[in-house]
Structure 1
Amino acid sequence: MPIHMITMPKWGLSMEQGQVNGWLKSLGEKVGKGDELLDVETDKISSGVECAFDGTLRRQIAQEGDTLPIGALLGVVADAETPEGEIDAAVEAFQRDFVPLTADTAEAGPQPEKAQIGGRTVRYLKMGDGGTPAVLIHGFGGDLNNWLFNHGDLAAHRAVWALDLPGHGESGKAVERGDADELAASVIAFLDDQKIERAHLIGHSMGSLVAMTVAEKAPQRVASLSLIAGAGLGAEIDRAYIDGFVAGNSRNTLKPHLGKLFADPTLVTRQLIEDIVKYKRLEGVNESLQKIAASAFDGNVQRRLYREQLATLAPRTLVIWGAQDQIIPAAHAKGLAGDIRVHVIDGKGHMVQMEAASEVNRLLNDFLGA
């Protein structure tokens, strides 16, 4: 088999380098497609670097604690019978020819844009072309960066938009009622503005509730629903998290709540917390979040549920959940009536699309027909 180089991936538009937290596979161990080889931390989150080949891990070039640029050599996978000399020569050639990306040499790629839609600023990012388009809808307190590890993979097969909902990210902060109807209307207005006649809607958490509300209001615009840790499929929710997120305005007050988003709380990086603190301190954010929370929840109970009508909302529906979700119970994925694909991923939490990005991307691309 060929000698395969494992290199530092690029996750998201802003990533320039990653720090190696440690190897997950041992030297000489057999590895296969989809296996996580090592853990890398970016300024946003830690994630596993997956192997795209079957073979044996023959070299561990990067060591724990190393901070390396995008594209740098991390390790080598080859057949167990490949001579050591051939691997050494391949590594030497790679290192000799490798030129780290800089601000001058890196391709900028697609960048977020802003549009005035319905009297409100909307930030969005479009990647890819062709096919039936997909629209990514984030959850409560999130933004389009919640799809850092998913957007590019999905866009390899079709046009994919991610947007900031009203009150979130860099979109306009003012909301009137802040309920699912208002947020869904903003998504429909976005589809109109971007001339998207029909789309696959992919929602995370509250974004799932918004996607289902769009499907209820404008079924002809929805080709399918993909609901990830979705609100609106059961009554229970951790209201303490919601209230803590709304009230928090500093690193110390937000960190304990943000840790609930992941099965492994160590995935919450300093930069992630700082980004949220910066967002929380923007004018109008807390007022909007309070309205949205008040309209969505009655104590620990979600006000609007689509569970009983889910099978009729869209032509096809996919449900994905992290089994260790601490915000919305994964039990909401059980017993859904109708022909609905359901996947519960063990060992992952509420932000399963980040914690198990490769698996979630495979499930989505398979469902969408990539």
Structure 2
Amino acid sequence: MAGQITPLVMPKWGLEMREGTVAGWLVGEGTRIEVGTPVIDVETDKISNAVEAPDPGLLRRQVAKNGERRPVKALLGVLAEAEVPDAEIDAYIAAYEVPAAGDEAGEAGPAYDWAEVDGIRVRYARRGPDTGVPVLFLHGYGGDLGNWLFNLDALSAAAPVIALDLPGHGQSDARLPGTSLADLSAFVAAFLAKIGVDRVHLVGHSMGGAIGAQLALDHPERVASLALINPAGLGPEINGDYTRGFARASSRRELKPVVEQLFATPAMASRQMVDDLLKYKRVDGVGELLDALQGALFAAGRQADLPALRLAERGLPLLVVWGAQDRVIPAAHAGNAPPWATVQVLEGAGHMAMMEKASEVNALLKRHIGA
């Protein structure tokens, strides 16, 4: 029976998610769906997204109803072919038990770890197997490791993953090792040494992409491959109104329209997302730190350093992914990637392509790292 029935379950998006609300079914019972088909919209306190079909089949049951709040891994629906009797499906639903937290590999233990590097305390997370070259995720300007909430679990199934709150970001100390890409990449190299990691597949978003490219130039022995998502460092232009606005906004009214520029669909900038960013920005020293960082790296709408243009010096495996509707850094910069790079521009995504097109980005990352 289990081989003929596929459960649709409440996903775990990010390290802190415990439950989600069914916002609405996108397909009706009896609909044939393919792998990756969006089936049901789910809302969390942080963000909304669609649950996609893990396997092909017929949607035989909508178990969860609109508006219901259910824990992670709770049964939402059932896929099965027409020849599977209704009685077997009823029995499967009746017998289904939500796995206890920590039952799955990589979910036991604390959600976060901490390290002190050059006097700066930083937060990071580790997931996945104990062997293999880890995948290190670096977020962008004003972000944190939560920006990878749709990506960490997907990648940790096959490789160890590490996600870092860069200095001055997230829950790391509100201090910087310096405001240049060289300063920040040197800090990342020191962080890897501190936690005993010699070499990583580096995935960098926006400013994190430029830091990753700088790390590949300055410490090539540390970087096995590089994946850049909507990165800085491949062209001179950047939306200065966004970077200045983010640094200086001090109220919901000021910050919300700035954050909306990150997404092709502005509604993805949820109330909780804006509130969380305001809370972060009100930590002592963060506003000044962000202003100093954007002034050093992105003054007057121009990028001060373009390390990704110099990656030809290294020739390492390179993936470049961009949201076609990026309003922060032009997607046209993808055309500046080295000729051997794999380049993918995704329609329907803005600056946060790894959140807006998570399935496509995860598939690209798996192929890139696997190769």
Cα distance in 1 for residues equivalent to 2:153 and 2:236: 33
Is the 2:235–2:336 contact (alpha carbons within 8 Å) kept by the matching residues of 1?
Answer: no
Q: Which letter does structure 2 place at the counterpart of 1:154? A: L
Instruction: Write the mapping of 1:196-235 to structure 2, written as runs, cut at 5 A.
Output: 196-235=197-236
Moved over 4 A (4+): 99-103
CA drift of 1:143 comes to 0.9
Q: Show the counterpart of 2:14.
A: 12
CA drift of 1:187 comes to 0.3
Q: Which letter does structure 2 place at the counterpart of 1:292? A: L
Task: Work out whether 1:151 is the aligned partner of 2:152.
Answer: yes
**Which has the higher mean CA deviation after the structures are superposed, 115-124 or 200-209?**
115-124
Is the 2:320–2:337 contact (alpha carbons within 8 Å) kept by the matching residues of 1?
Answer: no
Cα distance in 1 for residues equivalent to 2:308 and 2:120: 31
CA drift of 1:53 comes to 0.9
Instruction: Write the mapping of 1:303-342 to structure 2, written as runs, cut at 5 A.
Output: 303-342=304-343
Cα distance in 1 for residues equivalent to 2:315 and 2:275: 38
Cα distance in 2 for residues equivalent to 1:99 and 1:56: 22
CA drift of 1:82 comes to 2.6
Q: Show the counterpart of 2:68.
A: 66
The DSSP-based 3-state class of the residue aligned with 2:45 is coil
The DSSP-based 3-state class of the residue aligned with 1:74 is strand
Is the 2:177–2:187 contact (alpha carbons within 8 Å) kept by the matching residues of 1?
Answer: no
Cα distance in 2 for residues equivalent to 1:251 and 1:28: 44
What TM-score results when the alignment is normalised by the length of structure 1? 0.93
Is the 1:224–1:314 contact (alpha carbons within 8 Å) kept by the matching residues of 2?
Answer: no
CA drift of 1:226 comes to 0.5
**Which has the higher mean CA deviation after the structures are superposed, 350-359 or 308-317?**
308-317
Is the 1:178–1:288 contact (alpha carbons within 8 Å) kept by the matching residues of 2?
Answer: no
CA drift of 1:307 comes to 4.7
Deviations 1:276-310 (A, max 9, x none): 11100001111111111011113122121135323
Q: How many residues of Structure 1 are paired with residues of Structure 2 in the alignment? A: 366
What TM-score results when the alignment is normalised by the length of structure 2? 0.93
Q: Which letter does structure 2 place at the counterpart of 1:264? A: T
Q: Show the counterpart of 2:112.
A: 112
Is the 1:110–1:127 contact (alpha carbons within 8 Å) kept by the matching residues of 2?
Answer: no
**Which has the higher mean CA deviation after the structures are superposed, 290-299 or 135-144?**
290-299
Deviations 1:96-155 (A, max 9, x none): xx358589xxx6544212121111112111112211112111100011111112112212
Q: Show the counterpart of 2:137.
A: 136
The DSSP-based 3-state class of the residue aligned with 1:261 is coil
Q: Show the counterpart of 2:194.
A: 193
User: For 2:31, which of 29, 32, 37 is the aligned residue?
Assistant: 29
Q: Show the counterpart of 1:75.
A: 77
Unaligned runs of 5+ residues in structure 2 are none
Cα distance in 2 for residues equivalent to 1:251 and 1:293: 20
CA drift of 1:15 comes to 0.9
CA separation of 1:156 and 1:99: change in aligned 2, threshold 3 A: closer
Cα distance in 2 for residues equivalent to 1:363 and 1:269: 27
**Which has the higher mean CA deviation after the structures are superposed, 61-70 or 359-368?**
61-70
Q: Which letter does structure 1 place at the counterpart of 2:16? A: S
**Which has the higher mean CA deviation after the structures are superposed, 69-78 or 108-117?**
108-117
Unaligned runs of 5+ residues in structure 1 are none
CA drift of 1:81 comes to 3.1
**Which has the higher mean CA deviation after the structures are superposed, 55-64 or 272-281?**
55-64
CA separation of 1:176 and 1:223: change in aligned 2, threshold 3 A: closer
Is the 2:26–2:41 contact (alpha carbons within 8 Å) kept by the matching residues of 1?
Answer: yes
Cα distance in 2 for residues equivalent to 1:254 and 1:35: 34
Deviations 1:319-359 (A, max 9, x none): 11111112112111125332101111211121111122222
